[in-house]
Structure 1
Amino acid sequence: MPILASLTLYPVKSCAGIALREAIVTRAGLMSDQIYDREWMVVDAGGNFLTQREHPKMAAIVPQIGLDALKLRAPGMLRLEIPLGLPDPEDERLVTVKVWDDSVPAYDCDETTAAWFSSYLGVPCRLVRFHPQARRIASTDWTGGIEAPTLFGDGYPMLVISQGSLDDLNAKLAAQGRAALPMNRFRPNIVIDGIGAYEEDFAGSITVGGAVIKPVKPCPRCRIPSIDQSTGEVGPSPLDILQAYRADPKIDGGLAFGMNAILLGGENQVLRVGQDAEVTLAF
């Protein structure tokens, strides 16, 4: 029987994730302690988003959700605490930020926070928080016309990968005498165990408890899987292996690993690691 093997929340885009035993699933993605996936994002002086693609060190920024603050630590830096409460309307500072082709309003965090990130990454940058009135919608070309909101994720509210897919990739790496990769290199929100390798590609729906999750678009891979997520150091990339069998014409030959997904039903259901999952294939 397939099971929900892991849940991961990424409070700050492209920084480390938080492994959870349970999470609330919403149309905009996973949520825990009222904090949404990719609710914060690092931007440059022009408001353009920064990621591990250009700044691998971001992987080593580790978040922790406290009672009233998001706590961040990074190598060589003092701990940073960011209040979880939204700013008073009279004190809020709004900026326009850009994620791929979307421009949206966001809260600008304070100068201390900007200095912390700028010092660590070695470039002028700021931390911003998704604004409740901002609107980003996943491409309806892939969602079948369903309007699925997302925050600062690359384009979809969730990423689903099966454990079987990683096991298959690691077997191919081992055959070449290369080290296995952990799942965190691929930064999924949801991992399903007990199904075949790449079966998520063909899933019409994945039902966990009362939540119905629909994989909609193969996830094309960039250089991030080559980055050690515990140190931020760049190492050997698995893309050469994936090139041999995971180039997907549906995404213009991109190397697919995992499926971007949306929520079809069961909003605000609690997902728990170890729950049974029902995977319905689309054919």
Structure 2
Amino acid sequence: MGVVDPDGTPVTARERNALLGLTAEPTADGGLLLAAPGDAEPLRVEVPIGAAPIPVGHSRQREALPAGDEADAWLSERMRMPLRLVWQPDPLRRPVNPAHGGLPGEGLSLADAGPLLLTSEASLAQLNAWTPDDVQPLDMVRFRPNLVVDGEEPFAEDSWTHVRIGGVRFRFGEVCDRCVMTTIDPTSLARGKDPIRTLAKHRRWDGKTWFGVRLIPELEDGAATAPRLAVGDEVEAC
């Protein structure tokens, strides 16, 4: 799923911070439930089966499926600009960029750089311990992870080469560089200096600040997607 303007140019929360306040919950049949603060009930969006592709400007993928007029109107009204919701037709069609650790045959959604972003509660606790006392402890939602783990030393994830989570084996792609998006509170949209200020003191190299790791699933031969992960799955570095 992605958001584009009428010309197909991708629009993210970098350009429209208010997107941080929307939620998109997957349903069992592959659809979505879209919700925004103050909504009486979410909008159900069905998988756009049979829809004609439209041009989009996502790197390494030049077309996507439109989610439909109702979803577009819902999104445009809440963001106060004309927008379209689009669907990726094939999760393996868009390759992971080799610059972000991708190998031939590995696919990516319409995300920026990697299939899965993992962060650690132990690492967040260390970051909050480094943060000045006059700053409220940061919530993990600032980093927008797909998966949160605990039980390791802070930043142990940086040194993994592979990790097994539940029944899925993942290969380390890269440590995740962090941008100013992390300085925006996703609820109030208030801006601050942290975590970038604190990361710059303790986790800065190559001119960037770093928190979390991007992982790439190692799929079984012929599999289009990995098995589902669940809360409570065991995590084992291997």
* TM-score normalised by structure 2 residue count: 0.86
Question: 1:81 — aligned with what?
Answer: 43
Q: CA RMSD in A?
A: 2.3
Question: 1:7 — aligned with what?
Answer: none
Question: 1:95 — aligned with what?
Answer: 54
Q: Which amino acid aligns with 1:58?
A: L
The alignment status of 1:234 with 2:221, answered yes or no, reads no
Q: Which amino acid aligns with 2:127?
A: L
Matches within 5 A, 1:82-161: 82-87=44-49, 89=50, 92-99=51-58, 101-132=59-90, 135-143=93-101, 145-161=103-119
Q: CA deviation at 1:45?
A: 1.9
Gaps of at least 5 residues in structure 2 are none
The alignment status of 1:264 with 2:218, answered yes or no, reads yes
Structure 1 contact 58–232 (Cα < 8 Å) conserved: no
Question: 1:177 — aligned with what?
Answer: 134
Question: 1:64 — aligned with what?
Answer: 25
1:264–1:85 CA distance, 2 compared to 1 (3 A): closer
Q: Which amino acid aligns with 1:152?
A: L
Query: 111, 133, 156: which is aligned to 1:199?
Result: 156
Q: Which amino acid aligns with 1:50?
A: V
Q: CA deviation at 1:76?
A: 4.7
Greater share of residues in strand: 1
Structure 1 contact 104–135 (Cα < 8 Å) conserved: no
Higher relative contact order (CA 8 A, sep 6+): 1
Structure 1, residues 241-282: CA drift from partner, whole Å, max 9, x if none?
A: 111121232xxx2211111110125663343322332224xx
Structure 2 contact 96–103 (Cα < 8 Å) conserved: no
Structure 1 contact 42–127 (Cα < 8 Å) conserved: yes
Q: CA deviation at 1:113?
A: 2.0
Q: CA deviation at 1:172?
A: 1.1
Structure 1 contact 150–157 (Cα < 8 Å) conserved: yes
The alignment status of 1:248 with 2:205, answered yes or no, reads yes
* TM-score normalised by structure 1 residue count: 0.74
Could you tell me how far apart the structure 2 residues matched to 1:273 and 1:189 are?
12
Structure 2 contact 100–114 (Cα < 8 Å) conserved: no
The alignment status of 1:189 with 2:146, answered yes or no, reads yes
Aligned to 1:103, the other structure's residue is in SS state coil
Matches within 5 A, 1:31-42: 40-42=1-3
Instruction: Give the total of aligned pairs.
Output: 232
Q: CA deviation at 1:137?
A: 1.0
Identity of aligned residues (%): 28
